[in-house]
Structure 1
Amino acid sequence: MVLDHLHFNKRLRQLARKHQAMSNGYSPRMRADGLIVFRPKRKRSGVSLPSLVLFVFAFFAFKAFLVASLGDVAYEDRLATLKDGTFVEQGGAWVMQVDPATRYLADHIGPILR
């Protein structure tokens, strides 16, 4: 009797897990024997790779625009001000520091802005 109860509880947990998975959507599949079986759809990530690459490129382009429009000296002065600030401002200064990609883009954007 106890084993029957344990098997019953195990089956209930499996059904609850399957029900939870199916709540995200499901798609019917026909097996080779003709039986239609419903499989849960997998949850997709909220951020796709192309959108992440676009965001990173836009961030570097924004930094390059700032460097090209302000000039190297003024940009470095503003970064120095951030480096002397709070912990969050110091983190912003680290993120906004000029790197090779920003320098390359700024060198190509600069003549267009002037």
Structure 2
Amino acid sequence: MAGKQLEFDQRVQRLNKKHSKLSKGYRATMRKDGLVVMKPQRVRSAVPAKVLLFTLLAVFGFKAFLLSSLGPSGYQYRIDSLKEGTQVEQAGAWIMQIDPVSQFLSVQLNKVLY
């Protein structure tokens, strides 16, 4: 009797696991023998990776443009003034601080523009 109970518990556990996967979304597919089977559908991210990558590139491009147009000292002056502001301004100062990527892009932009 214990063996049958263990087998039953394992089957219930598998069914509960399958049910939890199907509750997040599923699609119906037909097997070669004609049986319709429900398969769990992958959960997609709310924000695609392309959008995140484009946003990151836009931020670096914007920083490089500001750095090349204001110059390093003028840019740093504005960052320092942001560091003295509210928490949101301080977060902006942290994001907009000079980093190697934006500095490299700024140098390349200066070569093209000037």
Task: Normalising by structure 1, report the TM-score.
Answer: 0.70
Residue 35 of structure 2 is aligned to residue 35 of structure 1: yes
Give, in angstroms, the shift of residue 72 of structure 1: 1.0
Residue 79 of structure 2 is aligned to residue 83 of structure 1: no
Q: CA contact under 8 A between 1:82 and 1:92: conserved in structure 2?
A: yes
Q: CA contact under 8 A between 2:61 and 2:105: conserved in structure 1?
A: yes
Stretch deviating more after TM superposition (103-112 or 45-54): 45-54
Q: CA contact under 8 A between 1:30 and 1:37: conserved in structure 2?
A: yes
Give, in angstroms, the shift of residue 20 of structure 1: 5.0
One-letter amino acid of the structure 2 residue matched with residue 75 of structure 1: Y
* In 2: Cα distance, 1:45 partner to 1:75 partner: 36
Offset from partner CA, 1:62-111 (integer Å, 9 cap, x none): 10000001111111111111112222212211111100001000000113
Quick one: structure 1 residues 44 and 74, their matched pair in 2 at CA, closer, same or farther if it must change by over 3 Å? same
User: Which residue is equivalent to 1:64?
Assistant: 64
Q: Alpha carbon RMSD of aligned pairs, Å?
A: 2.5
Task: Normalising by structure 2, report the TM-score.
Answer: 0.70
**Unmatched tracts of structure 2, length 5 or more:** 1-15
- Count of aligned pairs between the two proteins: 98
Q: CA contact under 8 A between 1:63 and 1:102: conserved in structure 2?
A: yes
**Unmatched tracts of structure 1, length 5 or more:** 1-13
The sequence identity of aligned pairs, in percent, is: 43
One-letter amino acid of the structure 2 residue matched with residue 100 of structure 1: P
SS at match of 1:29: strand
* In 1: Cα distance, 2:68 partner to 2:22 partner: 56
Quick one: structure 1 residues 43 and 60, their matched pair in 2 at CA, closer, same or farther if it must change by over 3 Å? same
1:1-114 maps to which residues of 2 (within 5 A)?
Answer: 20-22=23-25, 26-114=26-114
Q: CA contact under 8 A between 2:22 and 2:39: conserved in structure 1?
A: no
